[in-house]
Amino acid sequence: MTNVLLITADQWRGDSLGAVGHPVVRTPNIDRLAGEGTLFRRHYAQAAPCSPARACLYTGLYQMTNRVCRNGTPLDRRHDTLALAARRSGYDPTQFGYTDVAQDPRRLDGRDPWRTTYEGVLPGMSVRVRLPEDVKPWLSWLKGRGVDVPPGLDIYLPKDGPADPPAAQDTHYSAEDTETAFLTDEFLRWLGEQDRAWFAHVSFIRPHPPFIVPHPYASMYSPDDGGDFSRAATPEAEAAQHPFLAYSLDTIRKTNFVHGASGSISDWDDAARRQIRATYWGMISEVDAQIGRMMAGLEAAGAAEDTLVILTSDHGEMMGDHWLYGKLGWFDQSYHVPLIVRDPKAGRPGQAVDRFTESIDIVPTILERIGADVPPHLDGRSLMPFLEGTIPANWRSEAHWEFDFREVATAETERRFGLPLDALNLAVVRGERFKYVHFGGLPPLLFDMQADPGELTNLAEDPAYRDARLEMAEALLAWRARHLDRSLSGIELTEDGPVSATVDRRAG
């Protein structure tokens, strides 16, 4: 049996690593991993934020099917998961970090604490280290290493000086003491205990905010590095493009990104925005260093040539583009994520794939690689042919994703937009040239991605682009029709018993 190491690094933009030619960010260890495996240049998440993105990643199903709409939306217990499938194949899939899967409350009794959090464990996963947002296991680890730990999440405040405006300040912990280093240590310790084929999911929180990192990473990049942000001339001009942008720019708060800050993200000037971006890049390089330790640990354990390694992220980060921070809406920055697959038993090292691939493809890829059954109703398709140097027949020509902005507990967005709960959503089809965004109850958007890669000019109401809008809307409708829940629709009961459509017949 092959070992499996699935690494996710949270909130990582797909353009922010050296292997894809970023002009500033340095990621030598990940670049080396890409040189030993296959780099997927146009890989997209199917939803945001964390729970919806991970539901797609872990089930191989689009949001329209798994219906995890927001952080806190339960994952219906009827859905299979990567961990359950791996367990049926003889593995004990083990979690380091978090999976952010809200439990189906119908299977929980009384006052079960799992009913009060979206930070649940993916069904089928064993837990070696669970690292929720309160990061208590990391904090206790720091105390054991002699670090003077401030109360609660004040660990994310600078050691001296104000949190806002952001600056490259000292932290309460060193580069050897980060959350990433903590999980890496725990994985390497666990690796030394293994005496049979294993399956590990290492889920790093970084480069997710709060945006702070120890030296040398805090000062590794200058705020003067990098080009201009991709955005309209002013926040007001950006907001005028669409009601959802106006709402987002009005409601997103600094505290979501810089611990100890207050006020709106619109209050930051460009000096602060450039410092945040430099810090984000430093956080990426910090993760890269720990991934280098993991790969060295595999080599030292003699496991490198028996381990399938997959490195990806759950979703991206706006990082100042369109005057926004976080992961939201329809922009590529929020959904284009890294993907590197290193399979020492198959593939052509160093190759790059420029076809559209999606997070839902990871489940069938792993299942095929470990010899497990690949259910025909999955929305994703195996990437194994790409690893072997071929392009699968009838491969998709677009990427797709969804974003749901309902607020079930507060009804805030219902009041703001005057729309019912189930109309507060959007779906995207992103092709080579055009991107079309369809809303449940707000105006659509159309962008020419070749002429306007910054997505600054909405062409949806331009008569010259009426045919393009219609073509993309029809493509989106056809996509939804093909991928409605197919768990039983590909099965027919006959006199000879149930007959199932094959995966190849369901492809597309």
> Catalytic amino acids?
50
In 23-135, which ranges are continuous DSSP H helix? 28-36, 50-59, 63-66, 82-88
Measured CA to CA, the distance from residue 65 to residue 56 in angstroms comes to 9
What is the residue whose two structure tokens read 């059954």? 373
> Given CA atoms 71, 77, 80, 81 in this order, what sign does their dihedral have?
positive
* Maximum alpha-carbon separation in the chain: 76
d(C-alpha 367, C-alpha 384), whole Å: 10
Enter the tokens of residue 32.
Answer: 């080396």
Tokens, residue 378: 């999955």
Please name the residues in contact with 268: beta carbons below 8 A apart, sequence gap of 6 or more.
Answer: 165, 254, 276
Contact (Cβ atoms closer than 8 angstroms) between residue 65 and residue 357: no
Strands 38-40, 339-342: parallel, antiparallel or unpaired by DSSP? antiparallel
Distance (Å, rounded) from C-alpha 404 to C-alpha 438? 12
Beta-carbon contacts of residue 132 (< 8 Å; ≥ 6 apart): 98, 117, 119
Q: Say if residue 192 is exposed, middle or buried (CB neighbours under 10 Å; 0-12, 13-18, 19+).
A: exposed
Q: Can you tell me the distance from the alpha carbon of 175 to that of 214, in angstroms, rounded to the nearest whole number?
A: 5
Across the beta sheet with 399-404, the strand order is 399-404, 425-430, 434-439, 445-448
| Interatomic CA distance for residues 346 and 369, integer angstroms | 9
DSSP state of 185: H
Contact 266, 170 (CB under 8 A): no
Candidates 67, 65, 38; CA nearest to 341 is: 38
Q: What is the DSSP letter of 263?
A: S
Alpha helices in 354-464 (DSSP H): 362-369, 384-387, 412-417
Q: Specify whether the CB–CB gap between 483 and 64 falls below 8 A.
A: yes
Q: How far apart are CA 195 and CA 193, in angstroms?
A: 7
The amino acid sitting at 77 is R
From residue 77, alpha-carbon distances to 107, 367, 498 in Å are 8, 20, 24
Q: What is the token pair recorded at 72?
A: 């806190």
Alpha carbon distance 322, 317 (integer Å): 11
Cα–Cα distance, 303 to 188 (Å, whole number) = 12
The pair of three-digit structure tokens given for residue 18, joined into one six-digit string: 């050296």
